[in-house]
Chains A and B, each alone.
Chain A
């Protein structure tokens, strides 16, 4: 193993390689409930060529390698389950291009959401990207690799749907461009009209390659953002409310949330409706349509709009910090959620399950759902807060989350950013021929199974 350490230093330099216990400790864990596992080395490359050489070394020596963004997925996706090398991508943080007219950006594989947001605000204030409600240090590449969502997901789909091209270091060390950049200098399409090879990498959680460049769609950044908050106490009405709202085809984002604390939120389902405009007239026109769409629920007194004087600023925050506050309600700052992708019409069943699990395992819940792509599906988060200093509470949360995943699969849902156990549950239920296809892909791309082993272990 000393040879590998020396080889890594030769590739990256001494300051970009570590095997000291204190650094390995940090890279052995994430903020979720899964137990840590130590890597053998941590490396922090600055260039695609360095990534390539490290991957070639790992492939040659059959050493596991785990690409890492900011490690905030919460489901242990960058815990090095089989040791080896954790590759921290955060030093590759340059914005390489913004094509203003074609509305896309090309960023390096460790570029954070916050860096791109700030760059656009400073230089292209009329453009934006789909910012997730995660800390701004989380990375764009990691987000799209796990089919993340963001503020524009309601309009345009998963953030991975917004990818316009990739540069990937394959497990063999080959550098491969995906989409229009494979034919020329432009990053406007990840697939069409070519065969869409991005599917070999998006959603694979770093098990088929390492993203060193990502092309990402940008969207108009309207001058004004506004929000309305509709509440109902009838859970069965939530799908209808969302159907009416998505029919308007003009919302920025659409979330549903419910939680027992603080008391003012107890017993109600809250639908947060975001919309934008370049003028007051545009915003007020949209507000009127939103109110009109839900007037029938107001007429029956089953739902109404909350006054927002004291909450508006918090709701318009991007990203929102409310999740961090929720995580600390039981003190100890722990938070994890299962976030299956599912049908909106199943909202009532999921909502009932969250409460059932919270009671059964004596844990504090909060739940939030985000509408995806105009209502084709939603991400339903079953979230629990816990005290990191309380192993028993962490154990109960883990049991609750496992049961939530089983429930989601029973309901025909798809686990989002599943941990390795949830991946196993998913594969057990998968159509055998689909699983066989996954096996073929994985075997051919990663013959020595070095990429983030333990995850998507189809073979």
Chain B
């Protein structure tokens, strides 16, 4: 355990260097991308280690599933290179420390994880979640530690993840319904990358949503609205699940608009860029993103991650775009009150 399953030969023989070539925040020529990544692989200093914005996207770009992002984070920590300012880094470590204040609902074989995000617990309600909502768990004890990769604190990830898994294990659950991509990505990507055994089956909430919508199809009234989608960073850890957004929007009668910053080319919500880089880049990224949504003719911005929603809602609303979480969108489609934040 603790050792990243990374194959340096794969990088050495990589014909594309897509991990860096496609990066939205650093510019590389193809040869240079390969050279810089090999510096990272070989433990040498590289501008990647200083300039990476921690958007997770290279995990998706890598055609071989070789975990370039985790490697970059490992190397940064080894060399003591901070991503965000030191006090912000320590604050996140302190804020998410386990303090015995977890909340556990009536859990049997399935637990619903709202991670350490209060907004998620509120979302998982109504007809869609009626059979599982009582099994909610919340707190640092059940928080996937993936956020610490943003701060290149892989030691914290590796220290806490087994404890979180053990806390679920103690509940005796067979399944954990993950309401946050970060959680599902942690159990299916990070844990596997580090050889950490996950003794339960992680269920991705969009798979669950689609199943429930199919079960409730008689109640669905197509919404007939046009929407842009804000893809979160953690969805880059589980790119095979990205199609579910379109699948769900099709079912509820929402037109997913084509725009410049979507799919592989998505822009991050930029909250983490604020910490890592500062105001200018974050503001620029957010403004380009919102302008792109407006140009595409979006009435709604559909969010997957509450943190993205909190970060971009105001700016989107000022552009005339209604922010809504995809769960609330589904609730609206079956006639329940959705939570459009204004």
**Any A CB within 8 A of the CB of B91:** yes
Q: A301-B86, A307-B274 are in contact. Are A264 and B91 (CB under 8 A)?
A: yes
Interface pair B94/A304, CB less than 8 Å apart = no
A304 and B87 within 8 A (CB): yes
B271 at the interface (CB under 8 A from A): yes
| Closest residue of B by beta carbon distance from A295 | B278
Q: Please, which residue of chain B has its CB at the minimum distance from the CB of A263?
A: B94
Q: A303 to B84: give the CA distance in the assembly, Å.
A: 9
- CB contact list, B219-253 vs A, under 8 A: none
Asked whether A267 is an interface residue with its Cβ less than 8 Å from the other chain, the reply is yes
Q: How far is the CA of A232 from the CA of B84 in the complex (A)?
A: 12
Shortest Cβ distance from residue B284 to the other chain A in the assembled complex, whole angstroms? 12
A291 within 8 Å of B (CB atoms): yes
* CB within 8 Å for A267 and B94 given contacts A232-B87, A302-B85, A307-B271: yes
| Closest chain A residue to B277, Cβ basis | A298
Closest to B310 in A: A309
Q: Which of B90, B99, B307 has the most CB of A within 10 A?
A: B90
- Roughly how many angstroms separate A291 CA and B279 CA in the complex, as a whole number? 6
**B82 interface hit (Cβ, 8 Å):** yes
Q: Which of B94, B274, B318 contacts A305 (CB 8 A)?
A: B274
B-contacting residues, A273-328, CB 8 Å: 280, 287-288, 291-292, 295, 297-298, 301-307, 309-310
Q: Which of B82, B91, B279, B311 contacts A268 (CB 8 A)?
A: B91
Task: From known contacts A263-B97, A263-B99, A309-B307, infer whether A233 and B278 are also in contact, taking CB-CB under 8 Å.
Answer: no
Closest chain B CB from A314 CB (angstroms): 14
User: How many chain B residues touch the partner (CB < 8 A)?
Assistant: 23
Q: Which of B67-101 contact A (CB under 8 A)?
A: 82, 84-88, 90-91, 94-95, 97, 99
Q: How far is the CA of A97 from the CA of B271 in the complex (A)?
A: 47
Which of A268, A280, A291, A310 sits near B87, CB closer than 8 Å? A268
B84 near A304: Cβ-Cβ < 8 Å:
yes
Distance in angstroms between the alpha carbons of A310 and B119 in the assembled complex: 10
Question: Is the beta-carbon distance between B99 and A268 smaller than 8 angstroms?
Answer: no
Query: Residues of B contacting A304 with CB < 8 Å?
Result: 84-85, 87-88, 275
Cα-based distance from A277 to B25 in the complex (angstroms): 32
Known: A291-B279, A309-B311. A264 touches B94 (CB 8 A): yes
Q: Considering the chains assembled together, what is the distance between the CA atoms of A288 and B82 in angstroms?
A: 23
Give B277-304 as 1s and 0s: 1 = Cβ < 8 Å from A's Cβ atoms. Answer: 0111001000000000000000000000
Closest to A309 in B: B310
Give the residues in chain A near B86, CB-CB below 8 Å: 233, 301-302
Q: Are B275 and A267 in contact (CB under 8 A)?
A: no
Of A265, A295, A297, A305, chain B has the most CB atoms within 10 Å of the CB of A305
**A223 on interface, CB distance cutoff 8 Å:** no
B293 to chain A, nearest CB (A): 18
- Contact (Cβ within 8 A) B307 A303: no
User: Does A225 sit within 8 A of B, measured CB to CB?
Assistant: no
Q: In the complex, which residues of chain A have a beta carbon less than 8 angstroms from the beta carbon of B97?
A: 263
Q: How far is the CB of A297 from chain B (nearest CB, A)?
A: 8
Contact residue among A232, A263, A287, A302 (Cβ-Cβ distance under 8 Å from B95): A263
**A270 → B minimal CB distance (Å):** 9
In the bound assembly, the distance between CA atoms of A291 and B282 in angstroms comes to 12
**A298 adjacent to B94 (CB under 8 Å):** no
- The answer on a CB contact under 8 Å between A301 and B85 is yes
B323 to chain A, nearest CB (A): 13
Given contacts A287-B279, A295-B278, A307-B275, contact A231 B87 (CB under 8 A): yes
User: Which residues of B are found within 8 Å of A265, using beta-carbon distances?
Assistant: 91, 94
Q: Does A244 contact B (CB under 8 A)?
A: no
Does A222 count as interface, using CB distance less than 8 angstroms? no
A233 to B97, CA, bound (A): 18
Measured CB to CB, the closest approach of chain B to A46, in angstroms, equals: 47
Residue interface mask A227-254, B partner, CB < 8 A = 1: 0000111000000000000000000000
Bound-state Cα–Cα, A267 to B87, Å: 8
Which of these, A264, A267, A291, contacts B278 with CB under 8 Å?
A: A291
CA separation between A95 and B10, bound complex, in Å? 78
Interface centre among A231, A265, A301 (most CB of B within 10 A): A301
A266 within 8 A of B: yes
Contacts of A309 in B (CB 8 A): 271, 307, 310-311
A175 vs B7: C-alpha distance in the bound complex, in angstroms?
89
User: What's the least CB distance linking B50 to chain A, in Å?
Assistant: 11
User: Which B22-44 residues have C-beta < 8 A from chain A?
Assistant: none
Docked complex Cα distance between A386 and B35 (Å): 61
Determine which of A233, A287, A307, A310 lies in contact with B90 in the assembled complex, contact meaning CB atoms within 8 Å: A233
Chain A residue contacts of B87, Cβ below 8 A: 231-233, 267-268, 302-304
Residue numbers in B under 8 Å from A287 (CB-CB): 279
Report chain A residues within 8 Å CB of B99: 263
Contacts of B311 in A (CB 8 A): 307, 309
Given contacts A304-B85, A309-B311, contact A231 B91 (CB under 8 A): yes
Residues of chain A lying within 8 A (CB to CB) of residue B310: 309-310
A305-B275, A309-B311 known; A298-B85 Cβ under 8 A: yes
Q: Give the nearest-CB partner of A233 in chain B.
A: B87
Q: Nearest chain B CB to A354's CB is how many angstroms away?
A: 18
Knowing A233-B87, A302-B85, A309-B310, the reply to whether A266 touches B275 (Cβ < 8 A) is no
13 pairs from A and B in contact (CB 8 Å cutoff): A264-B95, A268-B87, A268-B91, A288-B283, A291-B278, A291-B279, A298-B85, A301-B82, A302-B86, A302-B87, A304-B275, A305-B88, A309-B271
* 4 A-B pairs closest in CB distance: A304-B85, A264-B95, A291-B279, A309-B310
Q: A263-B97, A263-B99 are in contact. List 5 more A-B contacts (CB 8 A).
A: A231-B88, A232-B87, A301-B85, A307-B274, A307-B275
Question: Chain A residues in contact with chain B, CB under 8 A?
Answer: 231-233, 263-268, 280, 287-288, 291-292, 295, 297-298, 301-307, 309-310
